[in-house]
Amino acid sequence: MDDILDSLSLIERTVVPYLHKSLNEIIEKSGLDKTSVLRALSFLENKKILILKSEQKNIVDIGVNGIHYKKNHLPERNLLFVIENNDRKTIQEIRAESKMSDNEFKVALGTLKNKALIELKEGKIWLIGKKEEISKRFPEELFLEKLPMNIDELDEYEKKVLKDLSSRRDILEIHQEKIITFELTEIGKKIAGKIVSTDLIEELTPEMIKNGIGNKKFRKYDLTAKVPKINGGSTHYVNQAIEYATKIWTDMGFKEISGSMTETSFWNFDVLFTPQDHPAREMQDTFFIKNVLGKLPEKSLVDSIKKVHEKGIDGSNGWGYKWAEEEAKKVLLRTHTTCLSARALTQLKKENFPAKLFAIGKAFRNETLDWSHLFEFYQTEGIVVDKNVNLTQLLGYLKEFYKKMGFEKIRFRPSYFPYTEPSVEIEIFHPERQKWLELGGAGIFRPEVTEPLIGKEYKVLAWGQGFERIILDYYKIKDLRNMYSNDIQNLRDTKTWMKT
């Protein structure tokens, strides 16, 4: 017994003398607030001194209007006072005499009529209830006096009153309340009511080491006691996956590039040989910044892009339309990260070749949201610049990346993109949905893209993949929309990304 008493903390020792009382009495007698008392009881439960019990109860309490009516009577009671002194006057006269709002008067009049206390005849109000019966006809006021009450403990008549008053605004409030009680164990019954010494030492101080502790004793600690789980901050799991993918690309010899999430149509579309009337530029696909125009680069590059679109180069016929600078100046939220690769190509010097570059960044498209589409999403982008690169090497880079990301079952399908030829789409097999899921496109940049940017000498392998789709299966997420729901418990429970 002494061992148990010596292990009690200060708040536990404070409540022990009152354990034979109710929770409210413990709060009153101990001088502790409710939170501290509940914490002490929780500690005592860990020591098997008591058993805590919790029950959710539906409580009906008095509302804002209810407080007013409890003090000043319900509108129907006040109207009855007026009618008693003005029997058989017209409705308009009673209305003026009562000084009630239209809504209160209508409710009160209807209530009195339903209670058979008044009668409306010939436009006048007749009092028909006997005085000795009138007080019995207002159980609502008696009900307000009894609040708060547990709804489950109401009798049938009180439940009817509750239903009637609940239909009226702000008279009642109903809420759930957690009712906590406790039951003492055999150990608890032995120590309940005991006065426990509060002189036990809770912590060791430098002064104690220097001067000693005299006749005092240290409190004993139970190292097996349950303590609240502490959740420290951590990197969002999407960012963990991005860090992992970044390491994959850098380990493969790629250099990271970045840039603004707003871009001109020139860099987002025109340099990538996407015609200015291409459906991808329409408002339903692209978020344009209204009434904003950006600056174009040096005139020589602009003229080269214009020529490529209008007439083509080296046997290409181009698109055969009149290219417009104003269209190229439009500012938008980038629809892909390939614009980063395009800008990077113009900044490379001959001594930088061959080059391998990558980016993982956000892109924006006006998509219809569903389990596999977001309008704001990450892409992983990459290019390889060299004289002798080919499609086999492109597929090899992508296979290696996806293998390190945990995928074995991938496939490539021939496809079409305005700025690559040949072009492929990369797909992975989604085991949950038993279907192939498209992740993005890849290919070799067309001469119409590379020649204006870096000349004829080099070829460029390029790809852009939807990153959330890549990590969907690893996190066992079936709907992309749940990836950014910010459910705290989900964020705490989600496993971390694989380590390299």
Domain limit, last residue, from 145, 173, 201: 173
Q: What is the pLDDT of residues 415-452, one digit of tens each?
A: 998 899 999 999 888 776 678 888 889 999 999 999 99
Residues 394 and 250 grouped into a single domain? yes
Question: What dihedral angle (degrees, nearest 10) is formed by the CA atoms of 66, 70, 71, 75?
Answer: 80
Element (H, E) at 266: helix 265-268
The structure's pTM equals 0.58
Q: Would you state the structure tokens that stand for residue 130, as one six-digit string?
A: 């006997």
Mean pLDDT of 319-331: 93
Residues 296 and 159 grouped into a single domain? no
pLDDT of residue 10: 84
Q: What is the pLDDT of residues 99-153, one digit of tens each?
A: 888 888 998 898 888 888 888 888 888 888 776 666 667 888 889 999 999 998 8
Residues 94 and 17 grouped into a single domain? no
Burial class (CB in 10 A: 0-12, 13-18, 19+), 101: exposed
pLDDT of residue 500: 46
Residue 461, pLDDT > 90, answer yes
Q: What is the pLDDT of residues 296-322, one digit of tens each?
A: 999 999 999 999 999 998 888 899 999
Domain range for 269:
239-493
DSSP reduced 3-state for 496: coil
For residues 98 and 78, the answer to whether their CB atoms sit within 8 Å is yes
Alpha-carbon span 466 to 438, nearest angstrom = 9
Helices 237-251 and 391-404 pack at an angle, to 10 degrees, of 140
Residues 35 and 108 grouped into a single domain? no
Residues 320 and 464 grouped into a single domain? yes
Residues 353 and 447 grouped into a single domain? yes
Is 227 a domain residue?
no
pLDDT of residue 334: 94
Residue 495, pLDDT > 80, answer no
| Closest of 422, 417, 419, 425 to residue 451, by C-alpha | 419
Residue 4, pLDDT > 80, answer no
pLDDT of residue 246: 95
Q: Is the torsion defined by CA of 17, 21, 22, 28 positive or negative?
A: negative
Is 226 a domain residue?
no
Percentage of the chain exceeding pLDDT 70: 95
Is 57 a domain residue?
no
Least confident of 51-55, 305-309, 477-481: 477-481
Alpha-carbon span 12 to 216, nearest angstrom = 18
Alpha-carbon span 213 to 278, nearest angstrom = 85
Q: Quick one: DSSP state of residue 419?
A: T
Is 347 a domain residue?
yes
Beta strand 355-364 with 255-256 is: parallel
Peptide bond into 447 cis (omega under 30): no
Q: What is the pLDDT of residues 198-248, one digit of tens each?
A: 677 878 889 888 888 887 878 777 677 667 777 777 788 888 899 999 999
Alpha-carbon span 304 to 216, nearest angstrom = 90
pLDDT of residue 216: 80
Least confident of 22-31, 260-269, 280-289, 413-422: 280-289
Is 229 a domain residue?
no
More confident residue, 190 or 439: 190
pLDDT of residue 77: 87
Residues 374 and 243 grouped into a single domain? yes
Question: What dihedral angle (degrees, nearest 10) is formed by the CA atoms of 66, 71, 74, 78?
Answer: -160
Question: Rounded mean pLDDT of the chain?
Answer: 87
Residues 313 and 398 grouped into a single domain? yes
Residue 178, pLDDT > 60, answer yes
**Chain centroid to CA 81: how far?**
55
pLDDT of residue 177: 86
More confident residue, 383 or 196: 383
Residues 259 and 162 grouped into a single domain? no
Residue 479, pLDDT > 80, answer no
| Closest of 268, 270, 313 to residue 456, by C-alpha | 313
Residue 283, pLDDT > 70, answer no
Residues 21 and 82 grouped into a single domain? no
Q: What is the pLDDT of residues 237-279, one digit of tens each?
A: 888 899 999 999 999 999 999 999 999 999 999 999 999 988 8
Is 228 a domain residue?
no
DSSP 249-262: HHHTT-EE----SE
CATH number at residue 366: 3.30.930.10
Residues 411 and 274 grouped into a single domain? yes
Mean pLDDT of 466-483: 81
Count how many domains the chain has. Answer: 3
Residues 149 and 245 grouped into a single domain? no
| Closest of 266, 255, 254, 322 to residue 293, by C-alpha | 266
